[in-house]
Amino acid sequence: MQDKISRRTMIQAGLLTAMAIPGLRQMRSAYADTLPPLDPADPTAKALGFVNDTTKVNDAANPTHKATQKCGVCAQFQGKPGDARGGCNIFVGHSVPQGGWCKVWAQKPS
């Protein structure tokens, strides 16, 4: 025999889900705040030319670099616009400054 789900149960489940979503977003933001900053001396960071400040990029070694390329507008940046730091898909487990740069930089889709 099949159990039927009542309309009341469906509405309650929907309301509980809707109430939980803002809390989950805050938890994600709090998690990003606990990530340790990426050390530019880290082997992966060095290999990808990571710098904390995009204005300090060696343009001779990185001819495709532009001053407008920053972690904060990169597709890999996990922070929100305006966040000083955020997680990065490339440097998992670390946070990067929004003004940083590395060779993997890619424009965030609009």
**Model confidence pLDDT, tens digit, residues 40-89:** 999 999 999 999 999 999 999 999 999 999 999 999 999 988 899 999 99
Residues 24-35 have pLDDT tens digits of 655 555 555 689
Residues 8-17 have pLDDT tens digits of 888 887 777 7
In a domain, 105, yes or no: no
In a domain, 107, yes or no: no
Phi/psi at 97 (nearest 5 deg)?
Answer: -75, 150
pLDDT of residue 2: 66
In a domain, 1, yes or no: no
In a domain, 102, yes or no: no
DSSP state of 101: B
In a domain, 90, yes or no: yes
Two structure tokens written together for 60: 């001779």
Query: What residue type is assigned to position 12 of the chain?
Result: Q
In a domain, 108, yes or no: no
C-alpha of 15 from chain center:
29
Query: How much is the pTM?
Result: 0.69
In a domain, 109, yes or no: no
Task: Choose between 21 and 73: higher pLDDT.
Answer: 73
In a domain, 77, yes or no: yes
Task: Choose between 2 and 64: higher pLDDT.
Answer: 64
pLDDT of residue 22: 74
3-state secondary structure (DSSP) of residue 60: coil
Domain that holds residue 60: 7-97
Here the CATH number for the domain that contains residue 27 is 4.10.490.10
Cβ(75)–Cβ(107) below 8 Å:
yes
Cβ(108)–Cβ(77) below 8 Å:
yes
Domain count, the chain: 1
